């Protein structure tokens, strides 16, 4: 009886032991997961809060983490990391770091993100500026649209007579003897006055010097000369008046030698205006080799107040040299006149 009881007890203990071992094995099999499934997600989530899942996205983790580090809304990403796929979270992250996110902090829903992902972005190509859209500035910021563009020395403060001289006379080829004599006399006054002051006296000078007819001026006597000196409108020194009279006598000698004063003057440029293409006022010279040669010969012939600078100013005014700047509307007009055949040979 005693041995039977011991055998039953032994059987029960063995059976309970086997049950415990079975349960222990099941627990061990459940707890022993691969290292990649238990270790990495636990620690990598601390570095990359969006989780690591397979994706076809071409965005690298390094660039994405750098972008996320520049944004302060990590809490929103951590809330969505357990349920949203990687592509959606990348789109959310890129939206957060876009310029519009700094001005509008509205959080997009998952449906809005999906709609944005499905839309095809449009690439806008910026057109380069055309030549017609570029305003060439001639250093005058006050120039109004549609206004004629002139040389830079013509400004909004320029006198009306000076603007008219620039638009109607300066650079226009002059072939008339009286006109050339007038321009030479006016240029000689630049030693004492500027162009504006001289041009305001132009009509009075024409009256007292008989329209700058060299034949009449050369014959003026002392009485006529003194009347011009006493003219308060002109306010010219007697030396200036005598200079114009003496130059008229020299012109008459040239007319007898060359047939006309015009033929003599234009021979120094081969009877064809010199066409220059200056862009800036600093490019325009005060004198030139042609002006120096003409000045030297005029002085030799007895002319007064005809230095190289004055002679060059005379050549500019008489159109022997076209010195309008390229952007000036008068440049092309004077060039067309200069290209005509010379008619006084």
Residue 20 burial (CB count, 10 A): 10
pLDDT score for 91: 67
| Residues 14-59 pLDDT 10s | 656 665 555 555 555 544 444 444 444 444 444 434 444 444 444 4
Measured in degrees and rounded to the nearest 5, phi and psi for residue 322 equal: -95, 105
Determine the Cα–Cα distance for residues 317 and 166; give it in Å rounded to an integer: 9
The C-alpha angle with vertex 116 and arms to 113 and 117, in degrees rounded to 5, equals 85
The DSSP result for 21-62, as a single string, is HHHHHHHHHHH---HHHHTHHHHHHHH-TT----------HH
Region of residue 272 (left: phi > 0; alpha: psi -120 to 50; beta: else): beta
Q: With contact defined as beta carbons under 8 Å apart, do 311 and 298 qualify?
A: yes
Mean pLDDT of the region 309-324: 96
pLDDT score for 26: 54
Higher pLDDT, residue 142 or 177: 177
C-alpha Rg value of the chain to the nearest Å: 49
| Residues 220-278 pLDDT 10s | 999 999 999 999 889 898 899 999 999 999 999 999 999 999 999 999 999 999 999 99
Determine the Cα–Cα distance for residues 183 and 185; give it in Å rounded to an integer: 5
Which residue matches tokens 């290209």?
339
């Amino acid at each position: 009886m005693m041995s039977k009881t011991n055998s039953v007890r032994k059987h029960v203990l063995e059976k309970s032991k086997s049950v415990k071992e079975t349960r222990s094995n099941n627990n061990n099999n459940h707890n022993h997961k691969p290292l990649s499934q238990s270790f990495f997600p636990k620690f990598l989530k601390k570095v990359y809060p969006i989780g690591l899942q397979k994706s076809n996205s071409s965005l690298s983790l390094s660039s994405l983490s750098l972008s996320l580090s520049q944004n302060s809304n990590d809490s929103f990403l951590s809330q969505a990391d357990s349920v949203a796929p990687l592509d959606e979270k990348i789109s959310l992250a890129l939206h957060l770091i876009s310029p519009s996110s700094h001005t509008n902090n509205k959080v997009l829903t998952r449906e809005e993100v999906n709609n944005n992902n499905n839309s095809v972005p449009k690439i806008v190509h910026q057109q380069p500026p055309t030549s017609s859209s570029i305003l060439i500035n001639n250093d005058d910021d006050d120039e109004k649209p549609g206004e004629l563009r002139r040389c830079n020395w013509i400004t909004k403060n320029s006198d009306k007579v000076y603007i008219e001289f620039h638009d109607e006379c300066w650079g226009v080829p002059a072939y008339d003897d009286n006109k050339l004599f007038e321009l030479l006399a006016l240029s000689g006054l630049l030693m004492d006055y500027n162009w504006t002051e001289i041009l305001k006296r132009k009509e009075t000078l024409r009256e007292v010097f008989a329209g700058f007819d060299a034949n009449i001026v050369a014959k003026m006597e002392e009485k006529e000369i003194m009347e011009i000196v006493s003219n308060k409108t002109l306010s010219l020194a007697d030396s200036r008046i005598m200079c114009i009279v003496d130059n008229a006598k020299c012109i008459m000698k040239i007319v007898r030698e060359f047939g006309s004063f015009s033929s003599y003057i234009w021979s120094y440029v081969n009877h064809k205006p010199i066409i220059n293409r200056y862009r800036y006022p600093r490019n325009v010279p005060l004198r030139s080799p042609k002006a120096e040669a003409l000045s030297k010969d005029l002085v030799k012939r007895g002319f007064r107040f005809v230095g190289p600078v004055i002679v060059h100013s005379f050549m500019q005014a008489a159109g022997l040299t076209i010195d309008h700047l390229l952007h000036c509307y008068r440049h092309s007009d004077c060039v067309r006149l200069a290209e005509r055949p010379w008619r006084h040979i």
